[in-house]
Structure 1
């Protein structure tokens, strides 16, 4: 006897037997076109680099398709081809790592300004949130060549990047601009004047040379421009949008804002007392890692992305009167006692018990090879970007304890956090931003 598994289950006809339904017709966008935006100011090696992306255009800027394109080469201090046989290479994820920080103005009002850690923000996003297949294909345009072991002159990723620039060759790379407004799907309203300003990192930060060749390298940028995508809407729809904007007073852009902070831990310490990094509301999730102070500041001999455990014993995140984790972890990486933070990283990324995607960081890499990044999930729905969390005003602080004294020169703790945020534009295109952190 045929019956339903549950009485509430409804009848449905499979698509193979549906001869009446037709796909909807897109009639809103008349045209979509790419456009090259050159530098607005004169090129200066140390920046700033200014781009006017819209210039009060009648078209709508497709924010998520905003790229920055660089052509560069690596030379000696005199600008000549390096003849030394020792390998040198651009650092990982170079197209995004070139930029130290961005600022964005809409109609002369500041709507975005990150810390000096944009390279770390982009690296965390690409390393943690993309699969190995994505890194080896799409991200290769950004100069991403997967490392197996950081700060290793024999590593395949380092050798690949070295080959790109050997013998004075120029290289062109491109990366999407990963700032708050460009990480959400809604287009920018027309007649908005958007100015993007970028500041570059130092040559020492951007170049890896693990053999101490004694050469002072020069990271020479030959060309830089932005590539954008604009939409031309049907006049009727454009007029309706304008009328709706006047009626509702503003249009809103809900998004996830990524914030990066860092703090210094002095040498020969066994602990880092609570450092309060965010002071307004609870983030959705947090990632953090430790790098040596000289690598963070920029040195040819060390990658700024070499996240080692540095003898860490415990990490605590304090917020809303809650401590994560709720008990000491008592880690010992040298003895392999570090399964718990690796599991927490997978859970925070939504990769545990997931057979469809993976960020390719193995447990061995996490333990030994420069990929020791800790993840903490603070929100019960941290992985669902379609939902906002209830706003919980709080201070967020981080405490660390070590089994062995911190190394000579000290460490920097790099912290990446995600927050709910709303950016809005009123009918005069004035930006309105809620307080994030």
Structure 2
């Protein structure tokens, strides 16, 4: 119908145009043609209705049937389930949801402990935590105490005596202590030697600037980059004020305490702290003992958590089959003495056992490290290092030595590796050491030995020798230098249902065989093996033939072997009329019927002078 109307309008328009061209009036022609067009359309409509009977004819449609594709199903393959559409709702519209509730912990509280021994000026200070009901959150452990000055030296200025200005060492809350020992149920599980340097380096390179200037200011941390060379710092000035002292609160920088896991109950914790000397803790312009420092009101604060009984019972049942595991990053500190007048330190053996994850090297004055009122004990100067390199298990880090020229201020590679090897670039954390500060007391050389530095994963254990090489532009000063080497390892403490820490028993000869041959060793090689023995966490050693204990201070003899060492014996066989000399090898063969497979290996000499073959010595080593 629409098509017919359109055609009729077009024809009518053409007729009107022709009439106007012939001289007719436009109005008359329009009225006439409009009437004719209307009548024509009506007649057409009536004709259509007559043909269809008043109904619109249906349009024929052909239905197409899709052919199904035949797919051969393979044997054993199932049809994949259709993917369900996941609907997501933004949290802004979730008006009826609440956060999940924790039901494992019933209560948390702070517990304060006092030392079990009197607080003497020279220490040590011992804490015994005897608790049988609480879980302890070890990473929330703090020490509080007050620092005082006594016997302050006074000098005469214009007829009046004034006290010598004295300041404490930076981060005195941690650097006041030199060594910290931790024991569980009277078993030593951790011994932190050089605690002051470990805590300082760990905080300087690992904590953020907000943490150091905020929370750690209670432990008297101060950024002294602008006045590091000066002896006195006004904000660290101490006064002899009688009863009032410098109030200090500091966390414990023990690696086993740097964990989020709760320590299981029924464990007696023993903590022993040994302090540094006065010359290490104080700084002044006077070299002759200007004052003494001591502490009072020493307290230990620990966070105790009460766990609901059902969860406690479930944990105890699991402990019967699986020990509790507390992984942590174990830090070892080793000090290497560099003699005076040397221009290089050849590859010096650091360790001969497990390769570390990361090694941090810093040089310091030996006098300042021992304690000097006029020297900063935390000043890691560059000492004109020109080259430094590390060899770990036959792989050199880096392949070419790190080049430094501090005289001309060219040490960009060492400075950049400080940030890169610490992971500061990937973790977006900054130790806030500028290019200028690096050469003015913050010269740390960092070597990362891991393939992928991921703090949340462990590295595969690799054994080998770790060596350090250093070269200097100038000869080392009088008195020499100390190279402080801080190494990082993967460690773990495990505690079973009986609250025993896990250890392993190994034969000394079997352990030594992992490092090479045992017989016909040179004195230098034996000294290296002795250093390796000292680095082990040996709990106990004994003679396997009779079960008698051997002192922990035993070491390998440089010249005595089971075949060459003889002594006077009256026991084997039956004593003859006169005394006779017998070798160690024959003694054990005749008395204990033990045949020694390594007669030319060094003997183990204890502190009393007794000799033991390596094959009959057993060690109990604690595994971290």
Q: TM-score, normalised by structure 1?
A: 0.89
Q: Which of 365, 375, 379 pairs up with 2:450?
A: 379
Any conservation in 2 of the 1:307–1:373 contact (CA below 8 Å)?
Answer: yes
Please give the alpha-carbon distance, in whole angstroms, between the structure 2 residues aligned to 1:11 and 1:308: 61
Q: Which has the larger radius of gyration?
A: 2
Indicate the SS of the match to 1:44.
coil
Please give the alpha-carbon distance, in whole angstroms, between the structure 1 residues aligned to 2:88 and 2:138: 38
Measured on the aligned residues, the alpha-carbon RMSD in Å equals: 2.4
Any conservation in 1 of the 2:144–2:249 contact (CA below 8 Å)?
Answer: yes
Name segments (4+ residues, structure 1) moved above 4 Å.
Answer: 9-12, 166-169, 433-437
Per the alignment, residue 101 of structure 2 pairs with: 25
Matches within 5 A, 1:35-46: 35-46=111-122
- The 1:41/1:353 distance shift into structure 2, 3 A limit, reads closer
Per the alignment, residue 137 of structure 1 pairs with: 214
Listed as ranges, the gaps of 5+ residues in structure 2 are 1-84, 155-160, 504-620
Per the alignment, residue 229 of structure 1 pairs with: 303
Q: Deviations over 1:331-376 (max 9, x none)?
A: 111111100011000002222377x532211111002x21111111
Indicate the SS of the match to 2:420.
helix
Any conservation in 2 of the 1:56–1:190 contact (CA below 8 Å)?
Answer: yes
Please give the alpha-carbon distance, in whole angstroms, between the structure 2 residues aligned to 1:165 and 1:352: 42
- The 1:44/1:166 distance shift into structure 2, 3 A limit, reads closer
Indicate the SS of the match to 1:431.
coil
Q: Which of 434, 437, 459 pairs up with 1:362?
A: 434
Q: Which of 451, 463, 469 pairs up with 1:393?
A: 463
* CA deviation after TM superposition for structure 1 residue 145, in Å: 1.1
Indicate the SS of the match to 2:279.
helix
Please give the alpha-carbon distance, in whole angstroms, between the structure 2 residues aligned to 1:139 and 1:70: 15
Greater relative contact order (CA < 8 Å, ≥ 6 in sequence): 1
Per the alignment, residue 519 of structure 2 pairs with: none
- The 1:242/1:435 distance shift into structure 2, 3 A limit, reads closer
* CA deviation after TM superposition for structure 1 residue 267, in Å: 1.0
Q: Which of 122, 136, 148 pairs up with 2:199?
A: 122
2:341 is the alignment partner of 1:262: no
- The 1:11/1:348 distance shift into structure 2, 3 A limit, reads farther
Any conservation in 2 of the 1:34–1:230 contact (CA below 8 Å)?
Answer: yes
Indicate the SS of the match to 1:329.
strand
Per the alignment, residue 351 of structure 1 pairs with: 424
Please give the alpha-carbon distance, in whole angstroms, between the structure 1 residues aligned to 2:126 and 2:152: 26
Tell me whether 142-151 or 320-329 shows the greater mean CA deviation: 142-151
Any conservation in 1 of the 2:119–2:296 contact (CA below 8 Å)?
Answer: no
Any conservation in 1 of the 2:502–2:623 contact (CA below 8 Å)?
Answer: no
- The 1:330/1:349 distance shift into structure 2, 3 A limit, reads closer
Please give the alpha-carbon distance, in whole angstroms, between the structure 2 residues aligned to 1:301 and 1:51: 33
Please give the alpha-carbon distance, in whole angstroms, between the structure 1 residues aligned to 2:436 and 2:394: 34
Q: Deviations over 1:139-182 (max 9, x none)?
A: 10111011114653387xx21111x5465651011211111210
* CA deviation after TM superposition for structure 1 residue 220, in Å: 1.7
Per the alignment, residue 274 of structure 2 pairs with: 199
* CA deviation after TM superposition for structure 1 residue 27, in Å: 1.1
Any conservation in 1 of the 2:128–2:270 contact (CA below 8 Å)?
Answer: yes
Please give the alpha-carbon distance, in whole angstroms, between the structure 2 residues aligned to 1:18 and 1:416: 51
Any conservation in 2 of the 1:312–1:331 contact (CA below 8 Å)?
Answer: yes
2:354 is the alignment partner of 1:284: no
Please give the alpha-carbon distance, in whole angstroms, between the structure 1 residues aligned to 2:338 and 2:486: 17
- The 1:413/1:149 distance shift into structure 2, 3 A limit, reads farther
* CA deviation after TM superposition for structure 1 residue 77, in Å: 6.0
* CA deviation after TM superposition for structure 1 residue 329, in Å: 2.7
* CA deviation after TM superposition for structure 1 residue 133, in Å: 2.2
2:255 is the alignment partner of 1:184: no
Please give the alpha-carbon distance, in whole angstroms, between the structure 2 residues aligned to 1:345 and 1:10: 47
Indicate the SS of the match to 1:230.
strand
Q: Deviations over 1:119-155 (max 9, x none)?
A: 0000001111122222111110111011114653387
Any conservation in 1 of the 2:139–2:259 contact (CA below 8 Å)?
Answer: yes
Any conservation in 2 of the 1:95–1:143 contact (CA below 8 Å)?
Answer: yes
* CA deviation after TM superposition for structure 1 residue 385, in Å: 2.1
Matches within 5 A, 1:304-343: 304-343=377-416
Q: TM-score, normalised by structure 2?
A: 0.63
* CA deviation after TM superposition for structure 1 residue 271, in Å: 1.1
* CA deviation after TM superposition for structure 1 residue 235, in Å: 0.9
2:244 is the alignment partner of 1:244: no
Q: Which of 136, 152, 159 pairs up with 1:61?
A: 136
* CA deviation after TM superposition for structure 1 residue 213, in Å: 6.3
Please give the alpha-carbon distance, in whole angstroms, between the structure 2 residues aligned to 1:415 and 1:12: 54
* CA deviation after TM superposition for structure 1 residue 276, in Å: 2.1
